[in-house]
Amino acid sequence: MVIGLKYATAELDPVTKEETYAKVREFAKKFKEKNKSTVCSELLGCNISTEEGMKEFKERQLITTLCADYVRNAAEILEEIL
């Protein structure tokens, strides 16, 4: 979303669209290199879209033990590529 706000325009021409997609691919590549995945359930080790997964997420306090680091990593990567 941040990349789209930075690079996309109201009139998304093919060149701007490709530049935006290239930045998204770069972000995803760097995030995956650093964290081994871009898939939430793989990063957390549980599927928070299920009742059981959400229970595990809360019990293991993953929002503070894992999510905070992933958000920090994402912000650092955005800062680097923007």
Task: List the one residue out of 36, 37, 22 whose CA is nearest residue 82.
Answer: 22
Q: What is the dihedral of CA 54, 32, 73, 21, to 10 degrees?
A: -100
Is residue 23 very low, low, confident or very high in pLDDT (cuts 50, 70, 90)?
very high
Q: What is the pLDDT of residue 44?
A: 98
9 has pLDDT over 80: no
Residues spanned by the domain of 54 = 2-81
Instruction: State the total domains in the chain.
Output: 1
In angstroms, rounded to a whole number, what is the distance separating the alpha carbons of residues 48 and 25?
25
What does the buried/exposed string (b/e) look like for 35-51 if buried means 16 or more CB atoms within 10 Å of the residue's CB?
beeeeeeebbebbbeee
7 has pLDDT over 90: no
14 has pLDDT over 90: no
